[in-house]
A and B are shown apart, each in its own frame.
Chain A
Amino acid sequence: MRTVIALFLIVIAQSCEQKTNKIEIIKFSDLENIILNSHSDYLVLNFWATWCAPCVKELPQFDQLLSRHQENGLEVILVSFDFVEQLEKKVSPFVERKKIKSEVVLLDETDYNSFIDKIDPGWSGAIPATLMINKRTGKRVFFEKEFKEGELENAFNSVMN
């Protein structure tokens, strides 16, 4: 019985969390754990910021990708490089206004040189950038580019196979 109650509480907690789409502030080690421990078959990480115009432009494609492939085991995480003190004033209202359904986290780090290569050695550090991981095969494909309309879906399909 206790287990049932506990599970029930977890479900409630999760559903509350989803409704508000709370943005978690994380460090790079947290991001590594998210990637490592994700039980999804496919993981797509997009690196962006509200002040990055090409990032904002391509953002709707990630929600579209999620709604199309969620049933196939896709998880999308939008990793924001916005500054932490702008979370309440800028990032949260932006996410709400754009009705973003994907999970959003804010990566609060300063020593960028220490982790960029760990995402992908080819990444110069420019955003937007996207990492796609097929958790079943271990295949990783990294993109340092802005996805023009329709390009993200095609790119994702190549990773799935």
Chain B
Amino acid sequence: MKKNILISTGVLSVVLIFFVNAKKTSILENSEKYEVGDYARDFNLKSTDGTMVSMAGMKEAKGFIIIFTCNTCPFSKMYEERIKELHTEYSTKGFPVIAINPNDQDLSPEDSFESMKARAKAQKFNFPYLQDETQEIVTSYGASRTPQVFVLLKEKDKYKVAYEGAIDNNHRDASMASKKYVKEAVDNLLLGKEVQTKFTKAIGCSIKWKES
């Protein structure tokens, strides 16, 4: 479960956590994250189209496909077309995509808001592309890489994490992906079913955390 201490104090420092299991130890950065079943917080972030976007602002939605992604990561770029397709297919069914760029623009200048606007235009993004300038949202969600997806199901005014992980299981070629995790998760939710595959992993670019 999430601890909200970090968020409430606004401290965005990286947390080092040690998992000790006999002879195995994992030392991870920022390992506090939403698990499937947790409730995710809302946000109010500026979009490349100039508006402010929050989940509460999309009253008709049944849920959301939140994707932490960026301008610079090769994996993010490889998935741009697939993200557009997800939005095309599912925004009309009540599950719009909201993309959030969490990278610190001082560490990664090509992830600046101006560069985000340029990329959204050049790649014809059909979904909102938001900047998490303070990294408050990505810290709350506990994403560690781009691209990383959280599928949220709306329950009244709350947002329950129904799936977390990769878009599919083949970054190189969408047509070769045998498991389309996000698509399957949202299809399950639309049928009122439980999500079958709730959690997956993928190689991705580490989020560029502000230096404390």
Contacts and interface: CB of A to CB of B under 8 A. Distances in A.
Interface string B165-180: 1100111110010110
A84 to B, nearest CB: 9
Nearest to B172: A110
A1 B25 CA distance: 49
Given A113-B165, A113-B169, A122-B31, A127 B203 contact: yes
Contact of A117 (B28, B169, B179, B201): B201
Interface string B1-42: 000000000000010100100011111110100000000000
Q: Report the contact-size class of chain B (Cβ under 8 Å from the partner).
A: 35 or more
Interface in B123-176: 144-145, 148, 165-166, 169-173, 176
Interface stretch (B55-63, B184-192, B204-212): B204-212
B51 interface: no
Nearest to B108: A53
B202 A113 contact: yes
Interface stretch (A59-67, A69-77, A132-140): A132-140
A149 B207 CA distance: 19
Given A124-B144, A124-B145, A110 B201 contact: no
A141 interface: yes
Contacts of A139: 23-25
Given A126-B144, A145-B28, A137 B201 contact: no
Given A110-B176, A111-B169, A126 B23 contact: no
Contact of A142 (B24, B148, B207): B24
Interface in A68-120: 81, 83, 110-114, 116-117, 120
B201 A125 contact: yes
Given A137-B23, A142-B27, 14 more contacts: A52-B205, A83-B74, A110-B172, A110-B176, A112-B203, A125-B203, A126-B144, A126-B206, A127-B205, A128-B206, A140-B23, A141-B24, A143-B28, A144-B206
Interface of A: 47, 49, 51-54, 81, 83, 110-114, 116-117, 120-128, 137-146, 155
